[in-house]
Structure 1
Amino acid sequence: MARQGHQHRVVVGVDGSESALHAVRWAAEEAERRGAALRLVSAFRLPFRYRAGVVEIDSLRTLLRAEHRRQLVDAGSAATAAAPGLRPEPELVDGVPVDTLVRESSEASLLVLGTRGLGGFAGLLVGSTSVALAGRTHCPLVVVRDADEPGTGAPVVVGVDGTPVGEAAIGFAFEQASARDSELVAVHSWTDPAVLNALAGGALMADYGMLEEQATVLLAERLAGWQERYPDVRVTRHVVRDHPTRTLLHFADGAQLVVVGSRGRGGFAGLVLGSTSQHLLHHAPCPVAVVRTPRSD
């Protein structure tokens, strides 16, 4: 079977955990839906530095490689069970997991990870490592939770921050909704902490009606071109005066995917590079897609 180009490759991180296998099954179904190749990647490094003569390094590396090959075999079985028509491509790498995934993302259309693990990719989405990964990947990143997910009739949710740099996330969300034949729920949270602080200090008078009307127009403008490009997608719009974390978690309940961008100002700004993103990744009841907008400078 000829290898498909990188534009048609879904990459999933494998570490032997049940969480990773759940991600593999999700990635396999997504690859089948896209008509894409599925690449299973396992990366490892020797866990400690040993003094010469204490541990035979080559023997330890051989044992680790054998264990990771077994994990790839198990992942391949899980993938073919979820999507029998696929022939997964296993890849074992001796290297730093985050760096490995960043390199893989440069030749992929989608990168998929589980939320928890035993080793290798364990802890990738906790703390500063998640920030580094989300800010460096060259393709959309999907984080799959272990929990059972809603069925195919559930909607796709996208957080719209109202800026041009959020276009990549909106486009990805429309693409997913179209491919899944599902409703797209587009959500814009227009609460601005700076404005609220000024209001609380008496510096401004609140005209919430005007602010909401402006937010509604902004959301419509951001969706207009994409709605024309994907006329088959039914879109439900929500303009909400609330914190982005609460807003997205509310709409993620019952969704099959929630999509956010990694750059922007206002609304959903900073979701990937701050506490809001980590909260969403840890607590959203469905897979979370992080779509990074490349820098223009």
Structure 2
Amino acid sequence: MTDPVIVGVDGSASSLGAVVVAAREAHLRGAPLRIVHAFGHGAGHLPGEAPPWNPAGHGLGPMTHGAPARAEERAREIVPDIEITRSVVPGQALEVLEIESRSASLAVVGSRGLGGFTGLLLGSTAVQLAAHGRCPLMVVRGRPDPAGPVVLAVDGSPAGEAAAWFAFAEAALREAPLVALHVWNTWSERAYEGPGDPLNAVVSDVDRLSTEERRLLDGTVAPRQQAFPQVEVERRLVRSRIRPALLDATRGAQLVVVGARGRGGFTGLLLGSVSQALLHHAHCPVAIARGGE
């Protein structure tokens, strides 16, 4: 059986929007949908002097039949014959979702929430889940164009390789075109987008660098295009600042896919600055893949 698509719900409008996306993703994959609802505090995460969660003071009925039931009802409105299970678990939302992600094909969350999911994109929860989750993460945000392409951010990193496979598979499932976008600049030679003007930094041979970046793009696309011949692909090589160019490309897209960490940045980081920028500012949903998935 195909691993389930999981979706975090808390009763907010944002999480119900995530349920819609998750139900469609599950349907496309022929996978079951698992609705995950966390309540209370996980061990070691009690705020201040707050007492531990006490089931005697909280009816399990509303938790079991409240937000999760509304989420299931919404999912069945989108895909009536979908297989759905509910996971209502005491604990901190991030911990619960991380555990659930170990046996999932995809995790889906909204960009805002209540309770355990409060401030999802304003704090560290999305960053931590993208870095530590065991399956690709899709954050539902922006105003996607259902007729737009899937945009793949190409960077040649191990996580970027995983992102490329995910993006092609997603485009095939959606029967959508794919834009393989590789943004480079003269900082690319040092694998770092630092201070100064990366468009005009002095390098020994700009033409050579451009050729290498084209080779990187072609090398990423070719094997995936062979595996998914039905996907219409546009290869786009752009010399620009990386984050602004990628954010601009999300306008009119239905999904952007990026690796958790690219070529630049500091060794040991689990989530790169480009991925974080997309989580905060993309104009469409963002899917983040990690190397080794």
Q: Does the alignment reach a TM-score above 0.5?
A: yes
Aligned twin of 1:244: 242
After superposition, what is the alpha-carbon deviation per residue over 1:18-40, rounded to whole angstroms, capped at 9, x for unaligned? Answer: 00000000110111111110000
**Could you tell me how far apart the structure 2 residues matched to 1:198 and 1:66 are?**
52
- Listed one character per residue, the Cα deviations across residues 160-190 of structure 1 (whole Å, up to 9, x for unaligned) are 1123442110000000111111111001112
Please tell me whether the aligned partners of residues 110 and 139 of structure 1 are also in contact (alpha carbons under 8 angstroms). Answer: yes
> Equivalent residues in 2 for 1:275-294 (5 A)?
275-294=273-292
| Shift of residue 247, structure 1, vs aligned partner | 1.5
Within the alignment, does 1:83 sit opposite 2:83 as a pair? no
Deviation beyond 3 Å, 4+ runs, structure 1:
46-52, 193-207, 269-272
Measure the CA separation in 2 of the matches of 1:197 and 1:67: 48
Mapping 1:125-274, distance limit 5 Å: 125-145=121-141, 147-151=142-146, 153-191=147-185, 192=187, 194=190, 204-205=202-203, 207-266=205-264, 273-274=271-272
Which of 4, 7, 13 in structure 2 is aligned with 1:9? 4
Question: Which residue does the alignment assign to 1:26?
Answer: 21
Q: Which amino acid aligns with 2:93?
A: P
Change (3 A) 1:91 1:214: same
State the 1:222 CA deviation. Answer: 1.5
On the 8 A contact 1:10/1:38 being kept in 2, the answer is: yes
8 Å CA contact 2:144, 2:255 repeated in 1: no
Deviation at 1:8, TM superposition (A): 2.8
Structure 1 residues 100-109 or 184-193, which shifts more?
Answer: 184-193
Alignment-mate amino acid for residue 39 of structure 2 = F
What is the CA RMSD across the aligned residues, in angstroms?
3.0
Which residue identity lines up with residue 132 of structure 1 in the other structure? Q
Q: Which moved more, 1:157-166 or 1:9-18?
A: 157-166
Contact 1:8 1:35 in 2 (8 A): no
Query: Structure 1 residues 142, 213: CA separation in 2 closer, same or farther (over 3 Å shift)?
Result: same
1:123 lines up with 2:119 in the alignment: yes
Shift of 1:197: 6.9
SS in 2 for 1:231: coil
CA separation of 1:122 and 1:203: change in aligned 2, threshold 3 A: closer
Gaps of 5+ in 1: none
Q: Tell me the amino acid that sits aligned with residue 13 of structure 1.
A: G
Deviations 1:175-219 (A, max 9, x none): 011111111100111222647879979994453333222211111
Q: Deviations over 1:202-245 (max 9, x none)?
A: 99445333322221111101111111111111110111112221
Instruction: Name structure 2 gaps, 5 residues minimum.
Output: none
Cα–Cα, structure 1 residues 242 and 271, in superposed 2: closer, same or farther, change >3 Å? Answer: farther
Q: Which moved more, 1:252-261 or 1:113-122?
A: 113-122
Secondary structure, counterpart of 1:20 in structure 2? helix
